[in-house]
């Protein structure tokens, strides 16, 4: 399978992504094997409120990337229903004209309430695409909430898409989402309030940055009409050039690796503990005990962990 | 993490009546499936490429314009050419009973005509989901 | 003069005595009764339920503002509605034969159904046409096909309705060119163009260009026909498809009228006179299952539109305030199971349209859910109209149900709810914005979903489908379209291209290109290209290059 993936075989890549999404048995081995082949791709994160026009924008960016002869992968993340666990994944509808281009690969992912956060699955999917030789990997997700912020932090460059008239621009500006944006896009620039929004965004950017806000460009587009996209594209490449040269890109990737290792470590620790105790089953009991005053949160957990360590030591001695 | 069943709902050809496809997509989502919906006016080629990229288990085709005899088998054929005959194809829409045996012969696993309760579609999917 | 208060009091007494005696032993079948569109229905309506009681202001007289009772003073006493069966399939020649058959059988107007490639402005040799040529309507690639379609049919004697939207300008040009060859001048031509692009984006899907250039084409047609083809209805603002997509009756009226408002605005922006083009606007509605709701719906729609044209747009000519409409019985209500039941459904829907005051009517055939109608089925559909017209007596007086406490209450309620929607759409910035934001689509889809769930749960009965089912043999006389059709059509196309003067074609296409980039009226250029046998695809491609193509963007 590894060879086929590196070759860029569509089915192999596709199945590998399913494997990492489903946390299959062979996932870990696969990721480790793919690792040496990674590092060539640049990851763009595109986020913003629903209705901002992200998918339409991505469609136009794909066009521009293909004009540069780049292989493009897109991961479009959408929320799963908290009730049924199912999802309707429709982002690719706006990019479907690229469906038969062999150098474009679009994959829809549902957030699925992943234990490790969908960020984990996305991060692994990126490695698959990276190893398969894609030049640019675009991740698209709605920018509301912690999960999405996690996803976006996987990206080398974050494009935040806003639209005038949504009424909640100020909220978005204050919600910390401004912290993660690298390039700010005012889409539907023909709409009433676009210039005002641009001014507001620039104002907030000035506040947050003591450096000059040249490093965070604010760009106007109308994705539907394909306006302002070339300018956006140029800005993306200028920004990437800058962070490559000032080592910021490298530093960010290392930081991300730190996060990833921490996440894997945490997940694995919990997994090991889970071999000792069926967490899902026991946790109900534990919460009852705490609720009834029979024990306290830290007391309970510390005791369980003590027992766990004892068990490990016992096994060690026996072995 | 249990594997989620992924289903592509597609409208091949020029027919723009998407009420049925959208209903099925929503109903299947309510059943817990992941449904990829690609909108109207899809060519057989784009449907098949999408099915491959999305690693779907099923492809559901909705068509009301009478072009099913040409387009459904074409899609089955393209899946086969791409080594993807394990992806199960089912169809629905305005399809006369007489055409169904031929479609099945050509590889369409099931055809759900107007008036079919959604439970039948769900049962079919559950039955054919590989564990 | 009955006192409303007294009636209410007496009703209460009745509820506590006569009614209670019965409901104590035999409760009603449901706790709540609603119309097909979920409007609540009372057990009984009395004069006390009349919201607004001013007859002259709210009902008035037929043919006069506010037109609640009809757009014409004599209605069916003067002339029956036009019996206009939508037809078209396969080749122009086959369709021509079907038209002659229908005219022979007593149909009074023609209605052309085009195949999907034609509706989307591509020729039969395009790769996207595979499997689609001649299936849902007749294939028209050039003037040549149009000539065959109307061969032997005098265009000065019949009125022709063409269900064509995105490339309406081109098909109109073909029609005019055929008339020219018959020696019939443009000003004699009667008919209707559907030409309603907004509903395509939300319910029907046969769009080509984005909204702005599409509206430009529509107003070009308004302007051109206003001068050159004055007897043609230049738009059929449609609610039929919106209803078929799953909306409620209220939404059907609201979104149709909102589309109408958008078109009027566009025409006014283009400098046209509302009292002139307003008279040539027409509408197209659905006749659905709930008989009473449908009748009330049509009456409400007339009153609403009259008010809007007068108060919002300042029309002064009463003819410009009239909502004239064509109706089609609801295709999606017909079943594949026990198809003969559909004849009954269509009969009830026909009554709805007639009691609602329609100007023309298409009745669906019993094999609607199975395929295109056979000759036998289409004859029964036509007979249905003729029986209602000649035998049922409902045509003997105008607006017979006026004054019914239930009907008037429903009419008022529907009007109220429609205006609520119109206000909301206005808030969103108009219909164009509402569509872009996905508001309209969501409303329709939510209704569609709810409706379907009710059928699945058997709360809403569909006889023969989820109740009273039988084992049955599938019908064996379904119309089949020859799959060789595409090849035949492609051969014809090649021949046309060989025989025409390609220099003239090139020149006319270039002129069209230039005009499209300016703001000239495109009709004369399209007409010239049509006369030279430029194909539909070639003409539309010129416009595609200039205007771009619309990309669907709203999902679910």
For chain C, what are the domain ranges? 32-56+246-397+408-472, 84-193+503-556
Please report how the helices A118-131 and A27-34 are oriented relative to each other, as an axis angle in degrees rounded to 10.
50
Task: Check B4 against A22: CB less than 8 A apart.
Answer: yes
CB atoms within 10 A of CB C465: 18
Structure tokens at C310: 């007068």
> Can you give the pTM of this predicted structure?
0.87
CA pair distance C332, B115, nearest whole angstrom: 10
The C-alpha angle with vertex C445 and arms to C441 and C450, in degrees rounded to 5, equals 155
Q: What is the pLDDT of residue A116?
A: 45
Whether B1 has a pLDDT exceeding 50, the answer reads no
Neighbours of C289 (CB within 10 A): 17
The pLDDT score that the predictor gives to residue C2 is 65
CA distance B13 to chain A (A): 14
Cβ–Cβ of B52/A10 closer than 8 Å?
yes
Min Cα–Cα distance to chain C from B94, Å: 6
**Exposure string over C350-360, b if 16+ CB within 10 A, otherwise e:** bbbbbbbbbbb
pLDDT of residue B83: 94
A225: nearest CA in chain C? C548
So what's the pLDDT on residue A208?
64
What pLDDT score was predicted for residue C103? 86
Non-local CB neighbours of B12 within 8 Å, separated by 6+ positions: B42, B43, B44, B47, B61, B63, B67, B71, B72, B75
Q: What is the DSSP letter of C18?
A: I
In eight-state DSSP terms, residue C519 is T
- Distance from the A52 Cα atom to the nearest Cα atom in chain C, whole angstroms: 10
Mean pLDDT over A267-294 rounds to: 88
Architecture of the CATH domain B6-126: 3-Layer(aba) Sandwich (3.40)
Q: Which residues of B fall within a CB distance of 8 Å from C465?
A: 115
- Considering only CB atoms, B36 lies closest to which of A21, A105, A108, namely A108
| Predicted pLDDT of residue C532 | 97
- Answer whether A127 touches C (CB < 8 Å): no
Neighbours of C (≥3 Cβ pairs closer than 8 A)? Answer: A, B
Q: Are B6 and B55 contacting, i.e. CB atoms less than 8 angstroms apart? A: yes
What length is written for chain B?
131
**d(C-alpha C267, C-alpha C145), whole Å:** 32
Cβ–Cβ below 8 Å for C476 and B71? no
Among chain B residues, CA nearest to A100: B46
3-class DSSP assignment, residue C64: coil
Residues A32-63 as b/e (b if ≥16 CB within 10 A, e otherwise) read eebeebeeebbbbbbbbbebbbbbbbbbbbbb
Determine the pLDDT at residue A144: 62
B-chain residues within 8 Å CB-CB of A99?
A: 38, 42, 45-46, 49-50, 53
CB contact under 8 A, A88 and C438: no
Q: DSSP label at A23?
A: T
Nearest partner of C462 among A205, A257, B117, judged by Cα: B117
For residue B15, the chain C residues in CB contact (below 8 A) are 116, 136, 205
Q: What is the CATH number of domain C32-56+246-397+408-472?
A: 3.20.20.240
pLDDT computed for residue C1 by the predictor? 52
Closest CA to A191 of A221, A213, A236: A221
Considering only CA atoms, give the Rg of chain A: 22
Question: Is the CB of residue A173 less than 8 Å from the CB of residue A189?
Answer: no
Pick out chain C residues at pLDDT < 70: 1-2, 51-52, 555-556
B8, B28, B34: which to substitute to probe chain A, counting the most A Cβ within 10 Å?
B34
DSSP state of C19: I
Q: Does the CB of A108 have a partner CB in chain C at under 8 Å?
A: no
pLDDT at site A177: 62
Average pLDDT over residues A58-81: 94
Residues of chain C positioned with their CB less than 8 A from the CB of A94: 551-553
Rounded CA separation C535/C521 (Å) = 20
Q: Which two tokens mark C298?
A: 């049509």
Exposed (0-12), middle (13-18) or buried (19+): which is C105, by Cβ within 10 Å?
A: middle
Q: Which of B16, B47, B61, B102 to mutate to test the interface with C (most CBs of C within 10 A)?
A: B16
Mean pLDDT of chain A: 86
Contacts of B82 in chain A (CB under 8 A): 10-11
- Top pLDDT among A127 and A152 is at A127
CB C544 within 8 A of CB C209: yes
Per-residue pLDDT at A115: 46
Q: Which of B21-35, B84-98, C360-374, C381-395 has the lowest mean pLDDT?
A: C360-374
Judging by beta carbons within 10 Å of its beta carbon (0-12, 13-18, 19+), is residue C483 exposed, middle or buried? Answer: middle
Q: How far is C455 from chain B (nearest CA, A)?
A: 8
Closest CA to C173 of C127, C104, C224, C107: C224
Q: Which residues of A touch C551 (CB under 8 A)?
A: 56, 59, 94, 97, 224
CB-closest option in C210, C552, C555 to A88: C555
Which residues, numbered 322 to 341 in chain C, qualify as contacts with chain B under a Cβ-Cβ cut-off of 8 Å?
Answer: 332, 335-337
Q: Which residues pair with C284 in a beta bridge?
A: C238, C326
Query: Per-residue pLDDT tens for C95-112?
Result: 999 899 888 888 778 989
For residue C453, count other CB atoms closer than 10 A to its CB: 16
Note the pLDDT tens digit of each residue in B38-56. Answer: 999 999 999 999 999 999 9
CA dist C492 → C144, C489, C496 (Å): 9, 5, 6
A96 touches chain B (CB under 8 A): yes
Q: What is the pLDDT of residue C483?
A: 78
Q: What is the CA radius of gyration of chain B?
A: 13
Q: What is the pLDDT of residue C351?
A: 98
The whole-angstrom separation of Cα A279 and Cα C23 is: 56
Residue-wise pLDDT tens digits, A217-253: 999 999 988 999 999 999 999 999 999 988 888 988 8
pLDDT tens-digit profile of A175-186?
566 677 889 999
Instruction: Tell me the backbone φ, ψ of residue C219, rounded to 5 degrees.
Output: -70, -30
Q: Which two tokens stand for residue C314?
A: 């300042």
Distance, in Å, from the CA atom of A101 to the CA atom of A89, rounded to the nearest integer, reads 20
Indicate whether B19 pLDDT > 70. yes
Distance CA A80, CA A111 (A): 5
């Amino acid at each position: 399978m590894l060879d086929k993936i590196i070759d860029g075989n569509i089915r192999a890549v596709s199945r590998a992504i399913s494997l990492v999404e489903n946390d299959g048995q062979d996932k870990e081995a696969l990721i480790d094997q793919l690792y040496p082949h990674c590092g060539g791709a640049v990851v763009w994160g595109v986020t913003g409120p629903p209705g901002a026009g992200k998918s339409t924008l991505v469609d136009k960016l794909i066009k521009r990337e293909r004009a540069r002869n780049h292989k493009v992968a897109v991961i479009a993340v959408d929320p799963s229903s908290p009730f049924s666990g199912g999802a309707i994944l429709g982002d690719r509808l706006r990019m479907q004209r690229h469906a038969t281009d062999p150098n474009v690969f679009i994959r829809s992912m549902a957030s699925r309430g992943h234990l490790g956060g969908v960020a984990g699955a996305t991060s692994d999917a990126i490695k698959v695409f990276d190893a398969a030789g894609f030049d640019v990997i675009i991740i698209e997700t709605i920018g509301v909430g912690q999960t999405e912020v996690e996803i976006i932090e996987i990206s080398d460059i974050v494009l935040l898409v806003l639209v005038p008239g949504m009424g909640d621009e100020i909220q978005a500006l204050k919600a910390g989402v401004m912290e993660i944006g690298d390039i700010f896009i005012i889409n539907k620039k023909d709409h009433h309030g676009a210039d005002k929004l641009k001014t507001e965004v620039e104002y907030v950017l000035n506040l947050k940055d003591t450096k000059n806000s040249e490093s965070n460009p604010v760009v106007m587009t109308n994705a539907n009409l394909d306006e302002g996209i070339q300018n956006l594209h140029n800005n993306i490449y200028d920004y990437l050039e800058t962070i490559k040269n000032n080592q910021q890109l490298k530093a960010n990737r290392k930081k991300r690796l730190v996060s990833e290792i921490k996440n894997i470590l945490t997940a694995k620790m919990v997994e090991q503990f889970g071999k000792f105790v069926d967490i899902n089953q026991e946790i109900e009991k534990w919460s009852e005990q705490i609720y009834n005053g029979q024990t306290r949160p830290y007391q309970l957990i510390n005791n369980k962990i003590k027992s766990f360590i004892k068990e490990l030591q016992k096994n060690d001695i026996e072995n | 993490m249990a594997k989620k069943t992924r289903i592509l709902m597609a409208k091949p050809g020029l027919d723009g009546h998407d009420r049925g496809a959208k209903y099925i997509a929503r109903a299947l989502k309510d059943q817990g499936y992941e449904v990829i919906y690609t909108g109207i006016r899809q060519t057989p080629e784009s449907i098949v490429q999408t099915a491959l990229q999305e690693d779907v288990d099923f492809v559901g085709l909705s068509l009301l314009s009478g072009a099913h005899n040409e387009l459904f088998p074409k899609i089955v054929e393209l899946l086969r050419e791409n080594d993807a005959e394990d992806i199960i194809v089912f169809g629905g829409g305005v399809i006369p009973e007489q055409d169904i045996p031929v479609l099945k012969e050509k590889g369409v696993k099931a055809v759900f005509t107007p008036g079919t309760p959604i439970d039948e579609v769900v049962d079919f999917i559950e039955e054919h989901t590989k564990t | 003069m009955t006192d409303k208060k007294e009636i209410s009091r007496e009703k209460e007494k009745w509820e506590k005595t006569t009614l209670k005696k019965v409901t104590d032993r035999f409760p009603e079948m449901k706790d709540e009764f609603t119309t097909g569109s979920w409007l609540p229905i009372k057990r009984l309506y009395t004069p006390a339920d009349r919201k607004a009681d001013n007859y002259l202001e709210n009902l008035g007289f037929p043919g006069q503002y506010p037109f609640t009772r009809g757009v014409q003073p004599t209605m069916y006493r003067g002339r029956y509605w036009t019996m206009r069966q939508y037809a078209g399939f396969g080749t122009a020649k086959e369709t021509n034969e079907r038209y002659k058959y229908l005219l022979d059988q007593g149909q009074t107007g023609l209605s052309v159904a085009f195949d999907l490639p034609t509706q989307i402005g591509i020729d039969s040799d395009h790769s996207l046409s595979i499997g689609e040529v001649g299936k849902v309507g007749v294939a028209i690639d050039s003037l040549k096909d149009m000539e065959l379609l109307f061969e032997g049919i005098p265009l000065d004697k019949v009125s022709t309705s063409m269900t064509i939207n995105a490339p309406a300008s081109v098909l109109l040009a073909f029609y005019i060119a055929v008339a020219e060859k018959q020696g019939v001048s443009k000003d004699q031509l009667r008919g209707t163009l559907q030409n309603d692009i907004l509903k395509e984006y939300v319910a029907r899907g046969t769009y080509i260009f984005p909204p702005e250039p599409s509206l430009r084409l529509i107003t070009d047609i308004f302007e051109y026909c206003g001068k050159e083809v004055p007897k043609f209805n230049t738009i059929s603002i449609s609610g039929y498809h919106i209803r078929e997509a799953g909306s409620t009756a209220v939404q059907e009226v609201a979104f149709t009228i909102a589309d109408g408002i958008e078109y009027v605005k566009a025409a006014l922006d283009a400098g046209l006179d509302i009292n002139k083009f307003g008279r040539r606007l027409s509408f197209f509605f659905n006749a659905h299952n709930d008989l009473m709701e449908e009748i009330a719906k049509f009456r409400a729609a007339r009153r609403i539109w009259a008010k809007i044209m007068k108060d919002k747009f300042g029309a002064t000519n009463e003819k410009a305030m009239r909502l004239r409409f064509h109706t089609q019985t609801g295709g999606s209500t017909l079943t594949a199971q026990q198809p003969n039941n559909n004849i009954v459904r269509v009969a009830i829907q026909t009554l709805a349209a007639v009691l609602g005051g329609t100007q023309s009517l298409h009745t669906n055939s019993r094999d609607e859910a199975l395929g295109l109608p056979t000759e036998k089925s289409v004859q029964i559909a036509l007979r249905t109209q003729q029986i209602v017209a000649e035998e049922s007596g409902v045509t003997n007086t105008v607006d017979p149900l006026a004054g019914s406490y239930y009907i008037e209450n429903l009419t008022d309620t529907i009007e109220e709810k429609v205006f609520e929607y119109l206000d909301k759409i206005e808030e969103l910035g108009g219909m164009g914005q509402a569509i872009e934001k996905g508001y309209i689509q969501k409303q329709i889809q939510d209704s569609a979903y709810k409706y379907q769930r009710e059928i699945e749960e058997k709360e809403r009965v569909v006889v023969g489908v989820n109740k009273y089912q039988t084992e049955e043999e599938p019908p064996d006389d379904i119309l089949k379209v020859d799959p060789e059709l595409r090849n035949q059509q492609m051969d014809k196309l090649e021949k046309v291209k060989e025989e025409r003067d390609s220099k003239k074609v090139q020149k006319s296409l270039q002129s069209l290109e230039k005009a499209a980039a300016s703001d000239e009226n495109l009709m004369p250029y399209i007409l010239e290209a049509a006369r030279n046998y430029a194909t539909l695809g070639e003409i539309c491609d010129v416009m595609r290059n200039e205007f771009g193509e619309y990309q669907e963007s709203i999902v679910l």
